[in-house]
Structure formats: structure tokens, C-alpha cells
Structure 1
Amino acid sequence: MAKNALQEQLLKAGLVDSKKAKKISKQSQHAKRTGDASNLEAKKALAEAQAKKIEKDQKLNQEKQQLLEEKMLIANVIQMIKQHQITETQGDVTYQFVDDAKIKKIYITQKLYDQIVAGHVVIARLEDDYALLPRPLADRINSKLEGFMVVSNDKSEVELAEDDPYAAYVIPDDLMW
């Protein structure tokens, strides 16, 4: 007798004889025990799928790691700015600068104003506010991660156009409006 319902139905319909049904069942049992070629193909396909999954997981982990490192770098920069910012800035002199196409104004002391104009002090973005930093620290922060420096007066960065008709006229940096 056939072992499953499909074989019984095929036998009753006369499509398969009992010898052929036994032979097929023996072949299927033998294939299960020995691992037939179709099983090898399935195993290969499964191994390839696992390899692709591992590769995809590694890429995702790498991206997550990069995002985490970037967040840590930003947090470290913000911490450095908070720790080393110049705290005694309140004064009666205004310094105006451009940030994101908007003119911003901070009130500082005359000494800090002179240092900003000379390039010894830099204005950096600190979350929703601004902080004053010494030039060496600002250069270190800028080398790690750009985008925090708002005002950095450096005489070497100033470039004059060759055909500038007003090149001979020097405009003072501390011009008050």
C-alpha cells in the first residue's frame, strides 16, 4: 500500500502502478537519508542567502557605527566648547556678524572686541547660542569637525581680486556703523 494519500489516489486512478509507487517512495526516502542533489542546491541557496544576510547586517552595523561615532564627535566638540569658552563676555560694545544670511549681534567687552578683530578669538556656534573661543582651540575643533565656527577673522584668508578698483583703499576691520 502507498504511504500517503496522493499515492493512493494515483493508484486508484490507474495512473501509477504499485511497483512504481514503491520505487518512488524508496527513492524519496533514500534522498532524505543521503541528501540528494536537490538538497545540495537548497543548501547552497540557503548558504548564499545567509551570506547575503550577514553582509547586509554588517553594512547596517557599519552605518550605525558611523552615525554613533559622528554623534559622539559632535557631543565631544560641544563639550569642548562649553568647557573652554570665554565666560566673561558681557560688555557694552556690540559686535555684529553674519550667521546663515542673518545679521547677529552680541554684546562684548572692548578687549574681546579687539581680540575678535585681530583673529585671536573666534565666535563658535553652541547649540542655540554663540560662544567665544581662543584661536588654537577653535582650530583644533575645526580640524575635527567643520561647521561650528561662525566668525574667524584671519588676515591670511583675505584675498583681493586682481581687477578690484578699490584695492588701494583699506577698510578698517573695526568700522562701526
Structure 2
Amino acid sequence: MAKNALQAQLLKAGLVDSKKANKISKQNQHAKRTGDSESLEAKKALADAQAKKLEKDQQLNQEKQRALEEKALKANIIQMIKQHQITDISGDVSYQFVDGSKVKKISITQKLYDQIVAGHVVIARLEEGYALLPRPLADRIDSKMEGFMVVSNDTSEDVLAEDDPYAAYVIPDDLMW
């Protein structure tokens, strides 16, 4: 009656009766025929694992999409800077500015120097060099992505503190050292 050696040993030991052994063997045969050999817990674990994998894949895709959009925006901004930069800048006046922790120097005309000091022209980072841009375009670029503007002299942001003891002493912005 017993189908396998384990059932035979259980029958001999008296731990299982023959009716119970037949019932278990019939359940096993039925499970094999219908394909229900996997338990419900295994199916649930598999479904959970698939859901987690799907969520992780969606997050990775969103990160890749954001990176692609940022790269496209950066390329668009560089193209805008190249198209609208002021090209006639070579002159005999040098303008020094700070980029990060380094002091940089460009030679420009006196008219451009005055416009930079007044805030009408902005110095922007362009690949390895710098470009001079009109103020409205620079503001539009800065609203899209920050990090391109190096020098932006905006006179409207100069607010004096009320308790500043040196408020009466005006320091000119265009000092030549």
C-alpha cells in the first residue's frame, strides 16, 4: 500500500495508519496532476519579489530619465550660450573675477567693462572658457539651470544693513589694483 519507503517506515512504526497514508498519497497525486505542487506561501513570496523588482526597475528608469533630461537641458543651455554670446570682446582692458577659488582674467573693451560693472552683461562658463552674455538671456539660463553664471553684478541686490558702521563709506566696484 505504501508508495515510498518513508510511508512504509511510518506504517511499521505505527505512527500513521494505512487510511492516512492513502489519503496523503492521493493528495500528492492530485497535486502532481493539477500542478498545485507549489504552496501558497511560495507563490506569495514570488509575487512579492516580482513587485519589488518592478518597483526597483521603475525607480532606476526614472533616475535614468532624469539624467537624460538634465543632459539635454545642459546641451540646450550650451547651445544658447554659443549662439548669443558677445563675440567682439578683444580689447586692452583686463577684467579680473573669481571662479570658484581661482582668480581669472579676461581682456575686454572698455565698453564691455562698463557694462559688466553696471550689470548689463554677465560672464558665463562655457566648456573650458568663458562667454559674455546679455543680462536677460543670462537670467533665463540661470532660471533653467544654475551653475553657468560666474560673474553677475546685480545692483538691485545690494542692500545695506541698518547697523553697519561703514554704511556712509561708499566703495567703488571698479577699483583697479
Counterpart AA for 1:99: D
- Please report how far the alpha carbon of residue 157 of structure 1 lies from its aligned counterpart in structure 2 after TM superposition: 1.1
Name the stretch that deviates more: 97-106 or 166-175. 166-175
Instruction: State the Cα RMSD in Å.
Output: 2.5
Please tell me the residue identity of whatever aligns with 2:8.
L
Q: How many residues align?
A: 174
How far 1:20 sits from its partner (Å)? 5.7
Asked if the contact 1:93/1:113 (under 8 Å) is kept, the reply is: yes
Percent identity of the aligned residues? 79
Closer, same or farther: CA 10–115 of 1 in aligned 2, 3 Å: same
Of residues 24-33 and 103-112 in structure 1, the stretch that sits farther from structure 2 once superposed is 24-33
How far apart are the structure 2 equivalents of 1:79 and 1:125? 12
Cα gap change, 1:153 to 1:12, in 2 (>3 Å)? closer
SS at match of 2:39: helix
Q: For residue 8 of structure 2, what is the aligned residue in structure 1? A: 11
Written as runs of structure 1 = structure 2, the 5 A alignment for 1:31-42 is 31-34=31-34, 36=36, 39-42=39-42
1:145 aligns with 2:154: no
Aligned to 1:77: 77
Contact residue 11 and residue 17 of structure 1 kept, 8 A = no
What SS class does the counterpart of residue 97 from structure 2 fall into? strand
| 2:50 alignment counterpart | 50
CA contact 1:91–1:110 (8 Å) conserved in 2:
yes
Q: State how far apart, in whole Å, the 2-side matches of 1:37 and 1:167 are.
A: 85
- The answer for the alignment partner of 2:102 in structure 1 is 102
Separation in 1 of the partners of 2:148 and 2:81? Answer: 9
1:57-109 per-residue CA deviation (whole Å, 9 max, x = no partner) reads 11111111111111111121112111211111111100011111221111111
Instruction: State the TM-score, normalized to the length of structure 1.
Output: 0.85
The separation in 1 between residues aligned to 2:97 and 2:32, in whole angstroms, is: 79
So what's the TM-score if we normalise by structure 2? 0.85
One-letter code aligned to 2:61: N
Q: Which residue number corresponds to residue 59 of structure 2?
A: 59
Q: What is the identity, as a one-letter code, of the residue corresponding to 1:68?
A: L
Question: 1:161 corresponds to which residue?
Answer: 161
Please give the secondary structure, in 1, of the residue aligned with 2:72. Answer: helix
